[in-house]
Amino acid sequence: MADITSLLGSIQNIPTPFYFYDLELLGKSLDEVKKHGLTKGYKVHYAMKANANPRILEVIRQYHLGADAVSANEVKAALAAGFPKEEIVFAGVGKSDEEIIVGLSNDIFCFNCESAQEVEVINELAGKMGKKAKIALRINPNVDAKTHHYITTGMKENKFGLPPKEIDQVIDKLPQLANIQLTGIHFHIGSQVTSLESYTQLAQRANDFNVYFRSKGIELQHVNVGGGLGIDYVEPKTNPVPDFKSYFEVFEKQMKLAPGQELHFELGRAIVGQCGSLISKVLYNKEGETIKFLIIDAGMTELIRPALYQAEHFIENITSQSQAFETYDVVGPICESSDAFRRGIELKQSKRGDLLAIRSAGAYGEVMMSRYNLRDNAKTYFDVDLG
């Protein structure tokens, strides 16, 4: 595997912090998606929000995944990366008129709609453009994904998806919506989901809705069960590739599709999460009253997940020659107390100038960078270019 630890000779002069991507590992994850998902005829749309780096998109496209975009700019980035327009879905709870027009003018595969009002707006805009918009209804299935509440999306108190009570309202209106073609239903229960039981429940709910639409005389072409499969943040080196086999098997076992109906997925984190590391230099060792701090040159500006979701990423010192271990709080340079990566972790004895690798940063890392404190954005490097 082209891990950063085998490339130390080539990275010494790269300014830190930077993102490092192991494209070989990305390929391994995609091989598994292909083996256990694509070969069964499932369509997997890559959730670009997890990582929209053009080089990453290029690799993913080579595996013939579609794209799940959540903004007009993501639609454009998908097209630029070579995703065919008929393999792009456009999701999002608040698409603006301008963004809908971008989707319509590019004749994308479908809009995942989240309210009755949005369906009407798309109908109106499509009418003005002389188009017929393909849509899927995102339904809130009220399934507990058992993950952090900030990334739970499929409970009835979440803002996402059509409340089931609005379904009939949309179905009754459809005959008057001349510029809409309802082609599917869509669900997404949340992110970093590790309970396969939640997916079993989702599959059963999806089956119920599928049957309901059929009972209303609507033949859906596809059922999209979203994404959310979690990765191992605790032991990323032991489990670099998520268990796609078990994940897809849940749906293979549970879904009751009508003949010809397609099953779609929208995976992001599980595909790209483990292939990225944030590499940062130790700036200072600081002995507090009770705590030894390692102050590093990456902060919440480069990786906001710990500050935003109390996420814990595996960290290792990749250059220390020391055999001794110490307990540290690893913190960033930003003027916020929440700018801490890990508290009380054991690392090889670390000193100014050592490099730390913050693992599992391939998803929701680079894309969520900010320029707070007017910091420069971290650059990205790839295994295939180093060494």
Phi-psi region of 146 (alpha: psi -120 to 50; beta: other; left: phi over 0): left
Q: Nearest residue to ligand LLP, using CB?
A: 268
CA atoms within a 13 Å half-sphere pointing along the CA-CB vector of 17: 30
Is the Cβ of residue 308 or residue 386 nearer to ligand LLP in the bound state? 308
> Which region among 15-23, 187-195, 328-336, 351-359 touches ligand LLP (by CB under 6 A)?
187-195
Q: Which residues pair with 327 in a beta bridge?
A: 346
DSSP per residue over 37-101, as a string?
TGGGT-EEEEEGGG---HHHHHHHHHTT-EEEESSHHHHHHHHHTT--GGGEEE--TT--HHHHH
Taking a C-beta distance cutoff of 8 angstroms, is the pair 106, 79 a contact? Answer: yes
Helices 196-215 and 244-254: angle between axes, nearest 10 degrees: 30
- Residues that contact ligand LLP, how many (by CB under 6 A): 23
Phi-psi region of 190 (alpha: psi -120 to 50; beta: other; left: phi over 0): left
> Which region among 54-62, 129-137, 223-231, 333-341 touches ligand LLP (by CB under 6 A)?
223-231
> Which region among 11-19, 33-41, 78-86, 265-273 touches ligand LLP (by CB under 6 A)?
265-273
Terminal C-alpha separation, the chain: 12
Which of 191, 198, 277, 280 binds ligand LLP (CB under 6 A)? It is: 191
- Distance from C-alpha of 164 to C-alpha of 141, rounded to nearest angstrom: 8
Is the Cβ of residue 220 or residue 282 nearer to ligand LLP in the bound state? 220
Give the footprint of ligand LLP on residues 266-285 (CB under 6 A): 266-270
Instruction: Convert residues 83-102 into a mask of x (bound to ligand LLP by CB under 6 A) and - (unbound).
Output: --------x-----------
Which of 364, 366, 369, 375 binds ligand LLP (CB under 6 A)? It is: 364
> Which region among 224-232, 238-246, 336-344, 353-361 touches ligand LLP (by CB under 6 A)?
224-232
Give the footprint of ligand LLP on residues 291-350 (CB under 6 A): 305, 309
Q: Which residues pair with 262 in a beta bridge?
A: 222
- In the complex, the smallest distance separating the C-beta of residue 305 from ligand LLP, rounded to whole angstroms, is 5
What is the separation of C-alpha 299 from the centre of its chain, rounded to a whole number of angstroms?
21
Instruction: Convert residues 40-69 into a mask of x (bound to ligand LLP by CB under 6 A) and - (unbound).
Output: -------x-xx-----------------x-
> Which region among 53-61, 75-83, 227-235, 285-293 touches ligand LLP (by CB under 6 A)?
227-235
Is the Cβ of residue 201 or residue 350 nearer to ligand LLP in the bound state? 201
For residue 149, the tally of other CB atoms under 10 A from its CB is 11
What is the separation of C-alpha 3 from the centre of its chain, rounded to a whole number of angstroms?
22
- By CB under 6 A, name the binding residues for ligand LLP: 47, 49-50, 68, 91, 151, 153, 188, 191-192, 226-229, 266-270, 305, 309, 363-364
